[in-house]
């Protein structure tokens, strides 16, 4: 009889433990779904542009974070990027369109990460630091001091001078040429 009580008690405890785990997981999914739904809401950018200067500031990583003032994103701390109201409306058809998998960072060999197509292709000064294909870091080190600047999120963004990543807005970190090559290899990029 004692054995039966122990087995029954253990079964009941296991049942409640598993029920709690499943409930917690479902709670996490509904929270994520709620966030996704929040991301797809329509945003009236003109109402955010309170000073009517025709520009707003948007976080490159959390597209829901839009402000009329320059500064850092209150959620992730990244520098908010200036966006004209006109271009925002034309890009987003009057609202924000988060497309889930398209905003997922891709780290395929030789491809740059996709942060919602944040790279502004018209800016040739920024374009040349985003490298594709087999990357020769020694060629990027134009002053031959053995150091380059690399983004710690977009590993294929490398420059010989300091600055911010044109894809994500993060400040690039100074690293040795050897360390930049190791970082590229570690994250699946091809090097020369």
- Sheet containing 147-150: order of strands: 158-159, 147-150, 173-176
- Domain span at residue 94? 45-98
Q: What is the pLDDT of residue 111?
A: 44
- Contact (CB, 8 A) for 54 and 85: yes
> Which single residue is written with the structure tokens 């029920």?
19
Last residue of a domain, one of 98, 124, 139: 98
What's the CA angle centered on 93, arms 89 and 126, to 5 degrees? 55
> Is 147 inside any structural domain?
yes
Question: What is d(CA 163, CA 142) in angstroms, rounded to the nearest whole number?
Answer: 16
Domain match, 94 and 62 both: yes
Q: How far apart are CA 51 and CA 100, in angstroms?
A: 32
Q: How many domains is the chain partitioned into structurally? A: 2
Over residues 2-21, the pLDDT tens digits come to: 888 888 888 888 888 877 77
Single residue among 71, 98, 125 that ends a domain in this structure: 98
Tokens, residue 143: 């002053």
What does the block give as tokens for 20? 């709690």
In this prediction, residue 42 carries a pLDDT of: 67
Residues 108 and 179 in one domain: yes
For residues 169 and 93, membership in a common domain is answered with: no
Q: Residue 155 has what pLDDT?
A: 92
38 in a domain, yes or no? Answer: no
Q: Check residue 63 and report its DSSP letter.
A: T
Domain contains 3: no
- Local confidence band at 28 (pLDDT 50, 70, 90 cut-offs): very low
Compute the distance between CA of residue 127 and CA of residue 112 in angstroms, rounded to an integer. 12
Query: Would you tell me how many other CB atoms lie within 10 Å of the CB of residue 58?
Result: 22
Q: What is the DSSP letter of 82?
A: E
Residue 164 lies in a domain: yes
| Token pair recorded at residue 24 | 């917690």
Most confident of 53-67, 120-134, 157-171: 157-171
Q: Look at residue 157 and tell me if it is in a domain.
A: yes
pLDDT tens per residue, range 62-82: 778 888 888 888 877 788 888
> Is residue 122 domain-shared with residue 179, that is, in the same domain?
yes
Task: Specify the residue for token string 């929040």.
Answer: 38
Q: What is the pLDDT of residues 86-143, one digit of tens each?
A: 777 766 653 333 333 333 333 334 444 444 444 333 344 455 899 989 999 999 999 9
Q: Are residues 86 and 125 in the same domain?
A: no
Q: How confident is the model at residue 176 (pLDDT cuts 50, 70, 90)?
A: very high
């Amino acid at each position: 009889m004692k054995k039966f009580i122990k087995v029954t008690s253990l079964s009941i405890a296991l049942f409640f433990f598993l029920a709690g785990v499943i409930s917690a997981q479902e709670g996490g999914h509904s929270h994520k779904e709620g966030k996704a739904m929040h991301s797809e809401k329509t945003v009236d950018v003109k109402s955010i542009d309170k000073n009517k200067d025709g520009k707003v500031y948007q976080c490159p990583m959390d597209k829901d974070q839009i402000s009329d003032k320059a500064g850092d994103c209150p959620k992730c701390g990244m520098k908010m990027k200036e966006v004209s109201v006109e271009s925002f409306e034309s890009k987003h058809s009057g609202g924000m369109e988060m497309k889930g998998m398209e905003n997922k960072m891709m780290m395929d060999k030789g491809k740059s990460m996709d942060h919602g197509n944040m790279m502004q292709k018209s800016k040739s000064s920024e374009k040349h630091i985003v490298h594709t294909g087999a990357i020769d870091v020694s060629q990027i080190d134009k002053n031959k001091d053995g150091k380059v600047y690399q983004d710690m999120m977009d590993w294929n963004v490398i420059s010989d001078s300091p600055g911010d990543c044109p894809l994500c807005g993060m400040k690039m970190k100074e690293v040795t040429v050897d360390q930049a090559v190791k970082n590229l290899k570690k994250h699946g990029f091809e090097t020369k």
